[in-house]
């Protein structure tokens, strides 16, 4: 276990360096710049801005300066937010995105796992068909369609919940549901598939022969192995949840990283795009490592030191 974690940590830095390098040069090679807009900036003002932010320097020099700042934990200034740095915006918006993603994934697990277990235990019955139909609908409806439908019904028709913002628990309900239900549908199908494989095993038949109740068989024996596909999904799924909530944050006007990431990509906000990409890349690698550890705990046959 220790060697595995040390090896993963050793790979973290060069992997993130490759990601940062690719994103840096792709952003610089893309047409347009951070000061291009609907109104043309006077040439003298444009030269002054480029000199202030060192955008007129050779590309290799900008790259070296960015890496130097990164080594000191400085992601640079924001071009479109005068007086603000990328570090400040990430420090302000990351907790919001993390809370939204965590609540959405909790909802997805709370809905998806019982639905998948129910489908597996009632295999080839109307209960199974109904559960998988619901999950298929959840997969088929994207978040940018689901979110406006929720707003239309619960906010504009019934007046039960606020339309947007992120101020109280009532404001959180619709964004969390919009972000979590598609993931719940995926988790339900993965849980069902994993449970069906386990329920066909010899040790499950032995448990039935010993007279154990259905609940005891599921909780004590089948669930641990049946959740392995779900555990494999959680790493990229949770990081994808954070990225996928970009649309949700935009629709509900939530001050999370997704909102700033969309604006930064549209405005060629180089430093902010680099900073958020770095955060997402680090989260993805960290979560994948935690998933591997959880997988080894659930399945003793998996040896991390051999991976």
Kindly report the CATH number assigned to the domain that includes residue 124. Answer: 1.10.3720.10
Q: Give the model's pLDDT for residue 305.
A: 52
Q: Give the model's pLDDT for residue 307.
A: 47
Q: Give the model's pLDDT for residue 302.
A: 55
Q: Which residues pair with 85 in a beta bridge?
A: 77
Cα gap 240→243, rounded to integer Å: 5
Q: Which residue has the tokens 């909802």?
A: 107
Q: Which of 17, 23, 14 is nearest to 270 (CA)?
A: 23
Q: Give the model's pLDDT for residue 177.
A: 93
Cβ 223 vs Cβ 64: under 8 Å: no
Q: Is residue 17 domain-resident?
A: no
Q: Dihedral angle at the C-alpha atoms of 148, 152, 155, 160, nearest 10 degrees?
A: -110
Q: Which of 92, 143, 138 is nearest to 248 (CA)?
A: 143
Q: Is residue 49 domain-resident?
A: no
Q: Give the model's pLDDT for residue 295.
A: 67
CA of 220: how far to CAs of 18, 54, 216, 231, 296, in Å? 44, 62, 6, 17, 18
Q: Is residue 96 domain-resident?
A: yes
Retrieve residue 88's tokens: 């400040």
Phi/psi at 165 (5° precision): 80, 175
pLDDT tens digits for range 254-269: 888 877 887 887 778 8
Q: Is residue 209 domain-resident?
A: yes
- Integer Rg of the chain from CA: 24
Cα gap 243→264, rounded to integer Å: 14
Cβ 78 vs Cβ 260: under 8 Å: no
For the chain, the domain total comes to 1
Q: Which residues pair with 77 in a beta bridge?
A: 85
Cα gap 117→106, rounded to integer Å: 17
Single pTM value for the model: 0.81
Cβ 132 vs Cβ 123: under 8 Å: no
* N-terminal to C-terminal alpha carbon distance within the chain: 10
Cβ 300 vs Cβ 1: under 8 Å: no
Q: Is 302 helix (H, G, I), strand (E, B) or coil?
A: coil
Q: Is residue 61 domain-resident?
A: no
Helices (H), the chain: 2-29, 43-52, 59-71, 86-121, 126-140, 143-150, 169-199, 202-209, 214-216, 223-226, 228-251, 257-267, 270-298
CA of 142: how far to CAs of 86, 105, 132, 182, 233, in Å? 30, 16, 17, 7, 18
User: Could you list the residue range(s) of the whole structural domain that residue 101 is in?
Assistant: 86-306
Residue 307: Cβ-neighbour burial (10 angstroms; 0-12, 13-18, 19+): exposed
Spell out, as residue ranges, where the chain has pLDDT lower than 50. Answer: 306-307
Cβ 77 vs Cβ 53: under 8 Å: yes
Q: Is residue 47 domain-resident?
A: no
| Sequence-distant (≥ 6) Cβ neighbours of residue 286 within 8 angstroms | none
Q: How many CA atoms lie within 13 A of 66 on its CB side?
A: 26
């Amino acid at each position: 276990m220790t060697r595995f974690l040390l090896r993963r940590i050793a790979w973290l830095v060069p992997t993130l360096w490759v990601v940062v390098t690719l994103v840096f040069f792709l952003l610089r090679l893309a047409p347009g710049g951070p000061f291009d807009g609907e109104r043309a900036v006077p040439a003298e003002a444009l030269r002054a801005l480029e000199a202030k932010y060192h955008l007129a320097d050779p590309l290799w020099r900008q790259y070296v300066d960015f890496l130097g700042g990164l080594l000191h934990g400085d992601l640079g200034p924001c071009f479109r937010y005068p007086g603000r740095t990328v570090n400040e915006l990430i420090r302000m918006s990351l907790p919001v995105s993390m809370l939204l993603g965590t609540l959405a994934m909790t909802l997805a697990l709370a809905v998806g796992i019982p639905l998948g277990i129910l489908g597996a235990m009632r295999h080839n019955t109307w209960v199974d068909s109904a559960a998988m139909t619901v999950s298929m609908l959840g997969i088929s409806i994207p978040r940018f369609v689901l979110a406006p439908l929720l707003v239309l019904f619960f906010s504009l028709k019934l007046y039960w919940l606020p339309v947007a913002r992120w101020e109280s628990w009532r404001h959180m309900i619709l964004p969390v549901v919009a972000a979590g239900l598609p993931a719940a549908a995926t988790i339900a199908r993965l849980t069902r598939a994993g449970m069906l494989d386990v329920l066909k095993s010899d040790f499950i038949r032995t448990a039935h022969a010993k007279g154990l109740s259905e609940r005891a068989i599921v909780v004590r024996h089948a669930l641990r192995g049946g959740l392995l596909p779900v555990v494999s999904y959680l790493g990229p799924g949770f990081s994808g949840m954070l990225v996928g909530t970009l649309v949700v944050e935009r629709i509900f006007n939530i001050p999370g990283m997704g909102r700033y990431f969309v604006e930064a990509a549209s405005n060629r906000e180089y430093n902010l795009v680099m900073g958020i990409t770095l955060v997402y890349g680090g989260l993805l690698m960290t979560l994948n490592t935690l998933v591997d550890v959880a997988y080894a705990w659930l399945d003793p046959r998996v040896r991390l030191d051999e991976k």
